[in-house]
Structure 1
Protein backbone atom coordinates (compact mmCIF):
# COMPACT_ATOMS: atom_id res chain seq x y z
CA UNK A 1 0.00 0.00 0.00
CA UNK A 2 2.83 2.40 0.89
CA UNK A 3 4.55 1.63 -2.42
CA UNK A 4 1.33 2.31 -4.30
CA UNK A 5 0.87 5.65 -2.54
CA UNK A 6 4.50 6.57 -3.17
CA UNK A 7 4.18 5.67 -6.85
CA UNK A 8 0.94 7.67 -7.15
CA UNK A 9 2.62 10.64 -5.43
CA UNK A 10 5.58 10.49 -7.81
CA UNK A 11 3.32 10.30 -10.85
CA UNK A 12 1.25 13.23 -9.61
CA UNK A 13 4.38 15.29 -8.87
CA UNK A 14 5.69 14.55 -12.38
CA UNK A 15 2.39 15.55 -13.95
CA UNK A 16 2.27 18.79 -11.94
CA UNK A 17 5.90 19.59 -12.86
CA UNK A 18 5.20 18.91 -16.54
CA UNK A 19 2.09 21.14 -16.51
CA UNK A 20 4.02 23.87 -14.70
CA UNK A 21 6.86 23.58 -17.24
CA UNK A 22 4.37 23.75 -20.12
CA UNK A 23 2.78 26.88 -18.63
CA UNK A 24 6.25 28.44 -18.24
CA UNK A 25 7.09 27.69 -21.90
CA UNK A 26 3.77 29.20 -23.03
CA UNK A 27 4.38 32.32 -20.92
CA UNK A 28 7.93 32.62 -22.28
CA UNK A 29 6.67 32.25 -25.86
CA UNK A 30 4.03 34.94 -25.31
CA UNK A 31 6.60 37.34 -23.83
CA UNK A 32 9.09 36.73 -26.66
CA UNK A 33 6.39 37.39 -29.24
CA UNK A 34 5.25 40.59 -27.50
CA UNK A 35 8.78 41.97 -27.47
CA UNK A 36 9.63 40.83 -31.03
CA UNK A 37 6.90 43.08 -32.45
CA UNK A 38 8.44 46.24 -33.88
CA UNK A 39 5.92 49.04 -33.23
CA UNK A 40 7.33 51.00 -36.19
CA UNK A 41 6.75 48.11 -38.63
CA UNK A 42 3.09 47.02 -38.26
CA UNK A 43 3.18 45.02 -41.53
CA UNK A 44 6.03 42.84 -40.22
CA UNK A 45 5.56 40.11 -37.65
CA UNK A 46 8.20 38.01 -35.89
CA UNK A 47 6.95 35.00 -33.92
CA UNK A 48 8.70 32.33 -31.91
CA UNK A 49 7.35 28.85 -31.25
CA UNK A 50 8.81 26.53 -28.63
CA UNK A 51 7.56 22.96 -28.95
CA UNK A 52 8.88 19.43 -28.63
CA UNK A 53 12.47 20.59 -28.03
CA UNK A 54 12.37 22.64 -31.23
CA UNK A 55 12.67 26.41 -31.61
CA UNK A 56 11.03 28.03 -34.64
CA UNK A 57 11.19 31.68 -35.65
CA UNK A 58 8.82 33.00 -38.32
CA UNK A 59 9.32 36.39 -39.96
CA UNK A 60 6.32 37.58 -41.99
CA UNK A 61 5.83 40.72 -44.01
CA UNK A 62 2.18 41.19 -44.88
CA UNK A 63 1.03 42.78 -48.11
CA UNK A 64 -0.03 46.39 -47.79
CA UNK A 65 -2.14 48.46 -50.15
CA UNK A 66 -0.10 49.29 -53.22
CA UNK A 67 2.63 46.74 -52.52
CA UNK A 68 2.08 45.22 -55.94
CA UNK A 69 1.47 41.64 -56.95
CA UNK A 70 3.92 38.83 -57.12
CA UNK A 71 3.58 35.19 -57.97
CA UNK A 72 3.02 32.55 -55.33
CA UNK A 73 6.07 30.56 -54.35
CA UNK A 74 7.14 28.19 -51.60
CA UNK A 75 10.52 26.62 -50.95
CA UNK A 76 11.52 24.60 -47.89
CA UNK A 77 14.36 22.46 -46.61
CA UNK A 78 14.69 20.18 -43.59
CA UNK A 79 17.85 18.33 -42.65
CA UNK A 80 19.88 17.32 -39.60
CA UNK A 81 17.71 19.01 -36.97
CA UNK A 82 17.32 22.36 -38.73
CA UNK A 83 14.75 23.63 -41.15
CA UNK A 84 13.92 26.70 -43.19
CA UNK A 85 11.16 27.73 -45.53
CA UNK A 86 10.34 30.77 -47.66
CA UNK A 87 6.93 31.48 -49.12
CA UNK A 88 4.65 34.13 -50.56
CA UNK A 89 0.92 34.17 -51.20
CA UNK A 90 -2.01 36.58 -51.58
CA UNK A 91 -1.81 37.87 -47.99
CA UNK A 92 1.87 37.40 -47.18
CA UNK A 93 4.42 39.21 -49.31
CA UNK A 94 7.27 37.28 -47.73
CA UNK A 95 7.59 34.64 -44.99
CA UNK A 96 10.81 33.15 -43.69
CA UNK A 97 10.63 30.24 -41.25
CA UNK A 98 13.76 29.09 -39.40
CA UNK A 99 13.89 26.18 -36.99
CA UNK A 100 16.43 24.37 -34.87
CA UNK A 101 16.49 21.47 -32.42
CA UNK A 102 17.49 22.64 -28.94
CA UNK A 103 19.91 19.70 -28.66
CA UNK A 104 22.03 21.31 -31.42
CA UNK A 105 22.12 24.78 -29.87
CA UNK A 106 25.55 25.47 -28.39
CA UNK A 107 24.92 28.96 -26.99
CA UNK A 108 22.24 31.53 -26.25
CA UNK A 109 23.41 35.13 -25.97
CA UNK A 110 22.13 38.63 -26.48
CA UNK A 111 23.70 41.80 -27.83
CA UNK A 112 22.63 45.43 -28.03
CA UNK A 113 21.41 46.48 -31.46
CA UNK A 114 20.63 49.81 -33.07
CA UNK A 115 18.40 50.83 -35.97
CA UNK A 116 20.22 53.75 -37.59
CA UNK A 117 17.22 54.83 -39.67
CA UNK A 118 14.98 55.21 -36.64
CA UNK A 119 17.73 55.96 -34.11
CA UNK A 120 16.32 53.30 -31.82
CA UNK A 121 18.11 50.88 -29.52
CA UNK A 122 16.95 47.33 -28.80
CA UNK A 123 18.49 43.88 -28.27
CA UNK A 124 18.95 40.76 -30.35
CA UNK A 125 18.88 37.26 -28.94
CA UNK A 126 21.38 35.05 -30.74
CA UNK A 127 20.84 31.29 -30.95
CA UNK A 128 23.97 29.49 -32.17
CA UNK A 129 23.53 26.03 -33.68
CA UNK A 130 26.21 23.50 -34.49
CA UNK A 131 25.12 20.15 -35.93
CA UNK A 132 26.76 17.01 -34.52
CA UNK A 133 30.06 16.16 -36.17
CA UNK A 134 30.24 19.45 -38.08
CA UNK A 135 32.66 22.32 -37.58
CA UNK A 136 30.44 24.99 -39.13
CA UNK A 137 27.67 26.72 -37.21
CA UNK A 138 24.72 28.98 -37.90
CA UNK A 139 23.19 31.70 -35.76
CA UNK A 140 19.53 32.71 -35.62
CA UNK A 141 18.87 36.26 -34.48
CA UNK A 142 15.63 37.41 -32.90
CA UNK A 143 15.04 41.10 -32.17
CA UNK A 144 13.68 42.06 -28.76
CA UNK A 145 12.31 45.59 -28.79
CA UNK A 146 13.18 46.82 -25.33
CA UNK A 147 16.01 48.90 -23.90
CA UNK A 148 15.82 47.08 -20.55
CA UNK A 149 18.77 44.68 -20.44
CA UNK A 150 17.37 42.92 -17.35
CA UNK A 151 14.28 41.89 -19.33
CA UNK A 152 16.43 40.44 -22.12
CA UNK A 153 18.76 38.69 -19.68
CA UNK A 154 15.72 37.07 -18.04
CA UNK A 155 14.39 35.90 -21.42
CA UNK A 156 17.74 34.34 -22.33
CA UNK A 157 17.96 32.60 -18.93
CA UNK A 158 14.46 31.20 -19.38
CA UNK A 159 15.32 30.04 -22.92
CA UNK A 160 18.47 28.43 -21.55
CA UNK A 161 16.34 26.53 -19.02
CA UNK A 162 14.14 25.20 -21.85
CA UNK A 163 17.22 24.30 -23.87
CA UNK A 164 18.80 22.39 -20.98
CA UNK A 165 15.55 20.52 -20.27
CA UNK A 166 15.82 19.14 -23.82
CA UNK A 167 19.25 17.60 -23.26
CA UNK A 168 21.16 20.39 -24.97
CA UNK A 169 24.91 20.60 -25.55
CA UNK A 170 27.23 22.66 -23.41
Structure 2
Protein backbone atom coordinates (compact mmCIF):
# COMPACT_ATOMS: atom_id res chain seq x y z
CA UNK A 1 0.00 0.00 0.00
CA UNK A 2 1.37 3.36 -0.97
CA UNK A 3 1.41 6.05 1.62
CA UNK A 4 1.57 9.63 0.57
CA UNK A 5 4.04 11.79 2.35
CA UNK A 6 4.32 15.47 1.60
CA UNK A 7 7.30 17.66 2.30
CA UNK A 8 7.95 21.21 1.20
CA UNK A 9 11.36 22.46 0.13
CA UNK A 10 13.68 23.37 -2.69
CA UNK A 11 14.69 24.29 -6.14
CA UNK A 12 13.94 25.46 -9.82
CA UNK A 13 15.66 25.76 -13.28
CA UNK A 14 16.56 25.77 -16.96
CA UNK A 15 17.54 22.83 -19.16
CA UNK A 16 20.74 22.80 -21.15
CA UNK A 17 22.41 19.72 -22.56
CA UNK A 18 25.64 18.48 -21.00
CA UNK A 19 27.40 15.48 -22.40
CA UNK A 20 28.49 12.58 -20.21
CA UNK A 21 32.14 13.08 -21.09
CA UNK A 22 34.95 10.96 -19.63
CA UNK A 23 35.82 13.96 -17.39
CA UNK A 24 32.26 14.11 -16.00
CA UNK A 25 32.24 10.33 -15.49
CA UNK A 26 35.62 10.44 -13.71
CA UNK A 27 34.50 13.32 -11.51
CA UNK A 28 31.27 11.51 -10.61
CA UNK A 29 33.21 8.34 -9.74
CA UNK A 30 35.64 10.30 -7.53
CA UNK A 31 32.85 12.19 -5.74
CA UNK A 32 31.05 8.93 -5.05
CA UNK A 33 34.20 7.24 -3.72
CA UNK A 34 34.83 10.09 -1.30
CA UNK A 35 31.18 10.45 -0.24
CA UNK A 36 31.16 6.93 1.23
CA UNK A 37 31.43 7.19 5.02
CA UNK A 38 33.50 4.21 6.19
CA UNK A 39 31.80 4.41 9.61
CA UNK A 40 28.30 4.06 8.09
CA UNK A 41 28.31 1.07 5.68
CA UNK A 42 24.49 0.99 5.48
CA UNK A 43 24.35 4.60 4.27
CA UNK A 44 25.24 5.68 0.75
CA UNK A 45 25.62 9.22 -0.62
CA UNK A 46 25.97 9.54 -4.39
CA UNK A 47 26.26 12.31 -6.92
CA UNK A 48 24.68 12.13 -10.36
CA UNK A 49 25.72 14.61 -13.06
CA UNK A 50 23.63 14.65 -16.23
CA UNK A 51 22.04 17.13 -18.63
CA UNK A 52 23.37 20.13 -16.67
CA UNK A 53 21.61 18.81 -13.57
CA UNK A 54 23.23 17.83 -10.27
CA UNK A 55 21.46 15.25 -8.11
CA UNK A 56 22.50 14.09 -4.66
CA UNK A 57 21.06 10.73 -3.55
CA UNK A 58 21.19 9.68 0.09
CA UNK A 59 20.16 6.07 0.84
CA UNK A 60 20.01 4.17 4.09
CA UNK A 61 19.66 0.42 3.49
CA UNK A 62 17.79 -1.96 5.77
CA UNK A 63 20.18 -4.21 7.64
CA UNK A 64 17.78 -6.17 9.81
CA UNK A 65 15.61 -7.60 7.03
CA UNK A 66 12.51 -5.92 8.39
CA UNK A 67 9.91 -4.66 5.99
CA UNK A 68 7.65 -1.68 6.26
CA UNK A 69 4.98 0.01 4.22
CA UNK A 70 6.42 1.33 0.98
CA UNK A 71 5.97 4.94 0.06
CA UNK A 72 7.24 7.27 -2.63
CA UNK A 73 6.77 10.99 -3.10
CA UNK A 74 8.45 13.29 -5.57
CA UNK A 75 8.19 16.86 -6.71
CA UNK A 76 9.61 18.70 -9.73
CA UNK A 77 9.23 22.39 -10.35
CA UNK A 78 11.17 24.86 -12.47
CA UNK A 79 14.07 22.49 -13.10
CA UNK A 80 14.63 21.43 -9.50
CA UNK A 81 13.46 18.33 -7.75
CA UNK A 82 13.26 16.32 -4.57
CA UNK A 83 11.99 12.83 -3.85
CA UNK A 84 11.61 10.58 -0.83
CA UNK A 85 10.96 6.85 -0.88
CA UNK A 86 11.11 3.67 1.16
CA UNK A 87 10.71 0.01 0.21
CA UNK A 88 11.74 -3.45 1.41
CA UNK A 89 15.46 -2.90 0.68
CA UNK A 90 15.81 0.84 1.26
CA UNK A 91 14.75 2.16 4.64
CA UNK A 92 15.01 5.72 3.40
CA UNK A 93 16.07 7.44 0.15
CA UNK A 94 16.24 11.17 -0.40
CA UNK A 95 17.02 12.74 -3.78
CA UNK A 96 17.79 16.44 -4.15
CA UNK A 97 18.43 17.96 -7.57
CA UNK A 98 19.32 21.33 -9.00
CA UNK A 99 20.03 22.80 -12.41
CA UNK A 100 23.59 24.12 -12.72
CA UNK A 101 22.28 27.31 -14.32
CA UNK A 102 20.70 28.29 -10.98
CA UNK A 103 23.74 27.55 -8.83
CA UNK A 104 25.19 30.80 -7.51
CA UNK A 105 28.06 29.38 -5.44
CA UNK A 106 30.14 26.23 -5.15
CA UNK A 107 32.17 26.15 -1.95
CA UNK A 108 33.53 23.72 0.59
CA UNK A 109 34.04 23.81 4.34
CA UNK A 110 35.61 21.58 6.96
CA UNK A 111 33.20 19.43 8.96
CA UNK A 112 33.52 17.27 12.04
CA UNK A 113 31.61 14.22 13.24
CA UNK A 114 31.68 14.64 17.03
CA UNK A 115 30.48 11.10 17.72
CA UNK A 116 33.21 9.41 15.65
CA UNK A 117 35.75 12.22 16.09
CA UNK A 118 36.21 12.26 12.31
CA UNK A 119 37.22 15.31 10.28
CA UNK A 120 36.09 15.62 6.67
CA UNK A 121 34.79 18.27 4.25
CA UNK A 122 31.41 19.22 2.83
CA UNK A 123 30.91 20.54 -0.68
CA UNK A 124 28.19 23.20 -0.62
CA UNK A 125 26.07 23.93 -3.69
CA UNK A 126 24.02 27.10 -3.28
CA UNK A 127 21.07 27.71 -5.56
CA UNK A 128 18.95 30.80 -6.02
CA UNK A 129 15.88 30.53 -8.24
CA UNK A 130 15.38 33.34 -10.77
CA UNK A 131 13.41 36.24 -9.31
CA UNK A 132 13.65 34.94 -5.73
CA UNK A 133 15.50 36.39 -2.76
CA UNK A 134 15.91 33.11 -0.91
CA UNK A 135 18.50 30.43 -1.59
CA UNK A 136 18.95 26.74 -0.85
CA UNK A 137 22.19 24.94 -0.14
CA UNK A 138 22.84 21.25 -0.79
CA UNK A 139 25.69 19.78 1.26
CA UNK A 140 27.59 16.71 0.15
CA UNK A 141 30.10 15.06 2.50
CA UNK A 142 33.58 14.30 1.18
CA UNK A 143 35.46 11.96 3.51
CA UNK A 144 39.01 13.16 3.19
CA UNK A 145 41.18 15.45 5.27
CA UNK A 146 43.13 16.60 2.20
CA UNK A 147 41.90 20.09 1.36
CA UNK A 148 43.71 20.06 -2.01
CA UNK A 149 41.59 17.08 -3.12
CA UNK A 150 38.37 18.86 -2.15
CA UNK A 151 39.46 22.13 -3.78
CA UNK A 152 40.18 20.21 -7.01
CA UNK A 153 36.71 18.58 -6.91
CA UNK A 154 35.03 21.97 -6.44
CA UNK A 155 37.05 23.48 -9.31
CA UNK A 156 36.04 20.60 -11.58
CA UNK A 157 32.38 21.01 -10.59
CA UNK A 158 32.67 24.75 -11.23
CA UNK A 159 33.98 24.04 -14.74
CA UNK A 160 30.89 21.89 -15.45
CA UNK A 161 28.59 24.53 -13.94
CA UNK A 162 30.08 27.26 -16.13
CA UNK A 163 29.85 25.19 -19.30
CA UNK A 164 26.16 24.51 -18.56
CA UNK A 165 25.44 28.14 -17.70
CA UNK A 166 27.00 29.24 -20.99
CA UNK A 167 24.62 26.92 -22.88
CA UNK A 168 21.47 27.99 -21.01
Cα-Cα RMSD = 1.4
TM-score, L = length of structure 1 = 0.85
Query: 1:122 — aligned with what?
Result: 120
Query: Deviation of residue 32 (structure 1)?
Result: 0.1
Alignment of 1:49-88 (within 5 A): 49-65=48-64, 68-88=66-86
Query: Deviation of residue 80 (structure 1)?
Result: 1.3
Q: For 1:75 and 1:94, how far apart are their aligned partners in 2?
A: 12
Give 1 or 2: higher helix fraction.
1
Matched, 1:32 2:40: no
Which segments of 5 or more consecutive residues in structure 1 lack a partner in the other structure? 1-17
After the TM superposition, which segments of 4 or more aligned residues of structure 1 sit over 6 Å from their partners? none
Matched length: 149
TM-score, L = length of structure 2 = 0.86
Which region of structure 1 is more displaced relative to structure 2, 68-77 or 110-119? 68-77
Q: For 2:124 and 2:67, how far apart are their aligned partners in 1?
A: 34
The SS at the match of 1:46 is: strand
Q: For 2:149 and 2:137, how far apart are their aligned partners in 1?
A: 21
**Higher RCO structure (Cα 8 Å, ≥6 apart):** 2
Alignment of 1:111-150 (within 5 A): 111-150=109-148
Query: Deviation of residue 117 (structure 1)?
Result: 0.2
Which segments of 5 or more consecutive residues in structure 2 lack a partner in the other structure? 1-17
2:156 to 141, 155, 158: 158
